[in-house]
């Protein structure tokens, strides 16, 4: 995936732009003035994958709390400002690492420039955060509705104000709750400016719809090289936002894997176990351990190890037994009841000793025993991979029918 080239900005130690890894953002749901609860949630978000955390700065008590929050936080803190530019000035004074301004509700040019001048002195970036739902009224009236062109014009108008006071430490978002319009807005914006982009589908909603919408919009743009930092705006515990955002980047190979990737077959008539149940149990047991590996749960030994041979570790069910495999090679045959526990044990060993060492430690007879199970099942069920024989027999049946008729 070739990233679109952008300017680079820094929020504390975290870089945002095409030279840096794509980052995950989330936002606290606590009252910011409750310093301890907010710091607790910031820590939870950070340990679940958030690289940057945004907190609302909606009252002077919140700005006061930001002094301690931004000092004690393990990740950069962005103050989210709506309507009151003076709270942006207070947040800068409090020591936050970044600001988000909404051009739709801070519209006085003089006030925007005053904030930019202070942010310049503090050397912190500003996100120009345009939202379809709170678009600049004049621009909305001009376009009649929140079109991609209207969102982009609003962002560019705000950027010009900032640039007029020599402020270039900028990132931008043009969020829409309609996925195709969101995608189009970012595409249009990316052609016009070089600032890094913060991607998101605004008001995406609760799970699972909110997650589907966010992934559809964000992944489409990331696959085109557009986007430098992301937020999944979900109506759920913000921990999920951080976790799913991080997973999304890992699944797209845009960030190094730090968490479990459990893959599983969808199950079918060949399955020798309840795949849904085993996969759920495996996910719970392995997630708790936090192994940063890919693990496969496959319903049958006939197809399982082969189809999941890229997984670091996996288990396939067959004739009351589980075939434990590493990179597609069977290393142990276990009782069906021990399938999940054997994954946990082997996951631990792989994490400690590495794949090669565990392949070398494979049970001597495992491959032979496994092959017997496979042969026995093929005798009963037929070989799903033997297409040639199947196609030949289907053709023969059909031609016999032609002759009969
Ligand atoms: S691995 Fe086996 S059980 Fe699972 S979908 Fe494939 S053939 Fe069916």
**What residue's CA is closest to ligand 1, atom 1?**
304
Question: What is residue 7's three-state secondary structure?
Answer: coil
266 ligand 1 Cβ < 6 A:
yes
Q: Which fold has domain 261-381?
A: Sulfite Reductase Hemoprotein; domain 1 (3.30.413)
208 ligand 1 Cβ < 6 A:
no
What whole-number distance in Å separates Cα of residue 343 and Cα of residue 218?
33
Q: What spacing in Å lies between the alpha carbon of 337 and ligand 1's midpoint?
A: 19
Q: And the tokens for 398?
A: 């059909």
Residues contacting residue 386 through CB under 8 Å, at least 6 positions apart:
none
Q: Residue 391: its pLDDT value, please?
A: 59
Q: Residue 386: its pLDDT value, please?
A: 62
Q: Give the residue ranges of the chain where pLDDT is below 50.
A: 403-405
Q: Are strands 321-326 and 313-318 parallel, antiparallel or unpaired?
A: antiparallel
- Top CATH class, 9-251: alpha beta
Residues contacting residue 57 through CB under 8 Å, at least 6 positions apart:
32, 63, 66, 79, 80, 81, 87, 88, 90, 91, 96
323 ligand 1 Cβ < 6 A:
no
Q: What spacing in Å lies between the alpha carbon of 69 and ligand 1's midpoint?
A: 50
- Domain range summary for the chain, segments of one domain joined by +: 9-251, 261-381
Q: And the tokens for 185?
A: 């807005």
Q: What spacing in Å lies between the alpha carbon of 265 and ligand 1's midpoint?
A: 6
Calculate the CA 321 to chain-centre distance.
Answer: 35
Residue 307 CA, closest ligand 1 atom number: 1
Q: Residue 405: its pLDDT value, please?
A: 44
252 ligand 1 Cβ < 6 A:
no
Q: What values do phi and psi take at 393, rounded to 5? A: -70, -35
Q: Which of 173, 220, 219 is nearest to 196 (CA)?
A: 173
One fold for both 9-251 and 261-381?
A: no
Q: Residue 399: its pLDDT value, please?
A: 65
What whole-number distance in Å separates Cα of residue 25 and Cα of residue 76?
10
383 ligand 1 Cβ < 6 A:
no
Residue 302 CA, closest ligand 1 atom number: 2
Q: What spacing in Å lies between the alpha carbon of 393 and ligand 1's midpoint?
A: 23
pTM attached to this predicted model: 0.88
Pocket test for ligand 1, best of 300, 373, 381 (most atoms within 8 A of CB): 300
**What residue's CA is closest to ligand 1, atom 8?**
268
Q: Residue 290: its pLDDT value, please?
A: 87
């Amino acid at each position: 995936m070739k990233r679109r080239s952008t300017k680079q900005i820094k929020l504390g130690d975290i870089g945002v732009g095409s030279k840096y890894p794509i980052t995950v953002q989330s936002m606290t749901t606590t009252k910011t003035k409750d310093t301890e609860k907010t710091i607790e949630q910031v820590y939870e978000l950070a340990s679940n994958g958030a690289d940057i955390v945004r907190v609302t700065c909606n009252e002077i008590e919140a700005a006061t709390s930001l002094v301690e929050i931004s000092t004690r936080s393990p990740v950069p803190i962005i103050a989210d400002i709506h309507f009151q530019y003076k709270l942006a000035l207070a947040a800068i004074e409090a020591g936050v690492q970044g600001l988000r301004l909404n051009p739709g509700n801070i519209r006085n040019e003089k006030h925007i420039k005053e904030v930019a001048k202070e942010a310049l002195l503090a050397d912190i970036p500003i996100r120009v955060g345009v939202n379809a739902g709170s678009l600049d009224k004049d621009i909305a009236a001009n376009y009649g509705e929140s079109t991609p062109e209207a969102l982009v014009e609003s962002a560019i108008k705000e950027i010009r104000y900032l640039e007029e006071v020599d402020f270039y430490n900028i990132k931008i978002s043009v969020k829409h709750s309609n996925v195709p319009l969101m995608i189009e807005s970012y595409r249009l914006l990316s052609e016009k400016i070089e600032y890094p982009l913060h991607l998101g589908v605004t008001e995406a909603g609760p799970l699972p719809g909110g997650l589907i919408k966010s992934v559809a919009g964000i992944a489409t743009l990331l696959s085109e090289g557009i986007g430098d930092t992301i937020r999944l705006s979900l109506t759920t515990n913000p921990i999920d936002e951080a976790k799913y955002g991080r997973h999304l980047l890992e699944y797209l190979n845009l960030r190094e894997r730090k968490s479990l990737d459990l893959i599983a077959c969808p199950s079918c008539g060949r399955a020798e176990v309840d795949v849904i149940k085993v996969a759920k149990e495996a996910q719970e047991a392995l997630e708790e351990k936090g192994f940063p590996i890919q693990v496969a749960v496959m319903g049958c030994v006939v197809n399982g190890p082969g189809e999941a041979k890229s997984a670091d570790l996996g288990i396939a069910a067959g004739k009351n037994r589980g075939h434990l495999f590493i990179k597609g090679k069977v290393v142990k045959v276990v009782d069906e009841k021990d399938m999940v526990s054997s994954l946990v044990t082997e996951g631990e060993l792989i994490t400690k000793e590495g794949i090669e060492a565990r392949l070398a430690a494979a049970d001597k007879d495992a491959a032979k025993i496994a092959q017997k199970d496979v042969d026995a099942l093929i005798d009963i069920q037929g070989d799903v991979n033997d297409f040639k024989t199947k196609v030949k027999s289907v053709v023969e049946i059909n031609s016999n029918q032609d002759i009969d008729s």
